[in-house]
Amino acid sequence: MVHYRLDWQTYSLVAANDQLLHLYDERLSVVISTRGNVPAIVYWGSFLGHSPLQQNMFARAELGGGVDLDPPLGIIAQHHDGWLGNPGVEGCFPDGSGSFPHFVISTSSNTTSSANFTLSDADLDLDLQIGIEIHTSGVLTISGALTNRGSMPYLLHSQRFALPVPPRAQELLTIGGRWGMEFGEQRTPWVQSTLSVSNNRGRTSHEKWPVVFAGTTQFGEQHGEVWGCHVGWSGNFDITLDGVTEHHKHMLVGEKLTAGELVIRPNETYSAPTIYAVHSAHGLSSASQRFHQFVRSRLQHENTSRPVTLNTWEAVYFNHNFETLTKLADSAAHVGVERFVLDDGWFSGRRNDTAGLGDWTVDFSVWPNGLTPLINHVKSLGMEFGIWCEPEMVNPASDLYRQHPDWVLHSGTNTPITGRNQLVLDMSRSEVRNYLFDCISQLLDAHDISYVKWDHNRDLIASPAHSQTLGTYELLGRLKETHPQVQFESCASGGGRIDFGILPYVDRFWTSDSIDPLDRMLIQRGAQRLMPPEVLGTHIGSPVSHITRRSHSLAFRASTAFFGWLGIEWNLLEASDHERDRLASVIAQYKILRTLLHTGLTFREDHPDSNILVHGVSAHNQSESLISITRLANGSSSHIDPIHLHQFDEDAIFIIKPLHLGTPTYAPHRKLPQWIDDGSITMTGRHMSEIGVVCPPLLPASSFLIQIHKVML
């Protein structure tokens, strides 16, 4: 046991056993100083080797004009230690006392890849468990649990972890958007400034995603140093990027709590959302690959089935009838679909979005013989059957609401505000969760259903998000345990709930309600900063987008949807025979490439023309790769500068061929690059990096795909 004290006679932090802990793997080093009252990360970056480290490598000068020490940035920053930025723990007892906890290390343990600390405030009877670990994926995780050992309840306002970032990180990349245009990327200079990414919507949200990257000036896909952070939580969060306090650039990250929302009663514990962090010395793509590897490390990931899916929403909306849907299933099977999903409209009273939510029984006015005949028909065609539901919501026009209006998440006397004509059920109540568990379990027990699209179509307003989020996790966890054969998709008006918090409970995420391929190029690009493509639903929509009303070729729609978990969102009964034949060809090609697309390394390349996007997937041994080059809009020239690919072994030899998913949509030209007319070109990895691959001229809103095969000598 190591005891610490603050010696105010000498104004310095004194420890009975000063030490540094060096956690590492072959890619990452994390250096933790235990010199102060609480542990502090003093370095987080490239592997430092095995030579001994010393405290004086990290000790700064003590400046005049302030407190007579260099205030430490602890993992839990403390005002009592001289830190004058935001503290790591804020709260108080009901009488107002305890607003400045003063933790000290009481016990610690560590291995080469993990460290655990118990921090205690003996006066306030508060204990804080901190866990720091380098996961095998290269992702750094930080977890914490605050326990109240006293006799009075403790009102917790916030618990946030501090991650230092070196001064050379001069830019920030944040991600967000809106419904139908999620995961847009924004660059912001980061010098003497503070930026906050704060969410109050009760779900992960479309507008602000709990993912941020800091990097060196003009860091790109393959160059620059990058530090990334994600709050693994599906509720409210706060990320403060502070470049001002004590000239200590840092990320202060955690759950965002409203006043009075969280009370830690005697002998109870608050577990903070886990923080996930990555470092890359080689740009954004490498940072994302760390996150992807973490997701893929989940048990059974390699064995997960990811069938090509047809979802009925944009085909029929609420207009359900057996004849139409069986014909749609016939057409789906013909083109190679492997899972048929019945979306909104199957349950009691659900003829539009004003009624029915909460009454999770089959509407026999539409399905007089129940869902079994449709399911049997789908199964007879060799497809699986899936279904949509929105369990956390309720319509005022429903039997459930009429029977249990008190189950709605609402407080006070004000009239609750509806969203999409619906209210939110209080998921903190066990009776609500038990009701939903029984309804959904009965549905899954009575029918051969392999997949549930779990939606969440509105924000929370003036409602506690913490208990709501935990209640949803508990319900989903119980359903997954009871029905292990069923896959669940997280959908929240599209991409409104995509994060590592809900990741253990779902198999798939619906990336966006917009299937416009031009928008989807950017949406998927942002979403894949955190999530690997195979967990993101990417669908081929109808020729005219239902949201943007823009028209795009099948080749472009398909090439966009290829890089993910492929699906169809198109009324195939309105498609021509030629369109269905082309779609069948696309799906057949996708199935050939599915293993590569779902297990390979995803990467992106920078291009001097901002209208050109380059991304690809490469097998880990580089035996095969698929690259997409997309022109978003017209530029200053119809020429496209060569595509430089930096992922490949320099001295290896590769054969490059075009892959057409339909009729190529080249810009006006008299002659294509010679290698395209020849059908292939042979280049070394060094050639692809230094010379680049010559690209054909492309029309706006079109893609050019190339396959690359390594020559095995």
The residues that are catalytic are: 455, 513
Token reading at 158: 């916030």
Structure tokens at 364: 């026999």
3-state secondary structure labels for all residues of 573-614: HHCCHHHHHHHHHHHHHHHHHHHHHHHCEEEEECCCCCCEEE
Q: By the 8 A CB rule, do 267 and 148 touch?
A: yes
Say which residues have a Cβ less than 8 Å from residue 503's Cβ, sequence separation at least 6. Answer: 232, 295, 298
DSSP code per residue over 125-164: TEEEEEEEEE-TTS-EEEEEEEEE-SSS-EEEEEEEEEEE
H-only helix segments in 211-338: 284-296, 313-316, 322-335
Consecutive H or E run containing 431: helix 430-446
* Residue 28 host element (H or E): strand 28-33
215 forms beta bridges with 171, 226
How many Å from the N-terminal Cα to the C-terminal Cα in the chain?
A: 58
C-alpha to C-alpha distances, 18 to 15, 108, 112, 646, nearest whole angstrom: 5, 13, 18, 44
Give DSSP secondary structure letters for 220-246.
Answer: -SSSS-EEEEEE--SS-EEEEEESSGG
Cα 422 to Cα 251, 312, 408, 457, 529: the distances in Å are 37, 22, 10, 9, 32
196 SS3 class: strand
Q: Which residues pair with 272 in a beta bridge?
A: none
Q: Give the Cα separation of 176 and 498 in Å (integer).
A: 12
